Amino acid sequence: MLTILPAGRGFAATIFLVTEESVDGQPCPLPLPLREGLSAALFEQGHIVFDDVDGAPPASAAALAALAQSLGAGWVLDARVEYREQAIGSRVVRVEGRAAWLLLQAPGGERAGAGTDEATNRDREGSVGREELAAELGAAISRAVTAVLGP
């Protein structure tokens, strides 16, 4: 018996993901929450996502695009986030995140899209931490990137 499943989106982009994450000016401890949130959100949108965990990405957009292409990706998503945390009680922390992202074509390194997003756990401090906030930012960035990539 042959079973046919709906194809959903007709397009799956292969995206090389690069993130830089900091908390109050210091490197964010592993696992990186935005990288995790973006990977999950982009995967749910039907995209293939991978990152290079072996070291720092190249400094220039052209070198980053060349690396991504050599690894089989058609796109580079460079996302950076700065988290600010403020204790507002014992074990309660207010978190604010400001993210900026850049989508590049690989080959060539041409800019295809860019944007910024912000999120906070204000009034949700007891139930939403940095990881959940990063997932919200990742979902917002994923929607914007998917809109740029098109159907």
7 in any annotated domain: no
**Domain tally, the chain:** 1
1 in any annotated domain: no
d(CA 109, CA 105): 5
8 Å CB contact between 10 and 150: no
pLDDT value at residue 5: 36
Residue 2's pLDDT band (cuts 50, 70, 90):
very low
pTM: 0.86
Residue 60 vs residues 56, 67, 133: alpha-carbon distances, Å: 12, 11, 29
Residue 90's pLDDT band (cuts 50, 70, 90):
confident
Q: What is the bridge-based pairing of β-strands 75-89 and 48-51?
A: unpaired
Residue 84, helix vs strand vs coil:
strand
Each residue's pLDDT tens digit, 9-44: 456 899 999 999 999 999 999 889 999 999 999 999
CATH code at position 54: 3.40.50.10070
- Which neighbouring-strand residues pair with 113? 103
Number of other residues whose CB lies within 10 A of the CB of residue 55:
6
Domain span holding position 77: 14-149
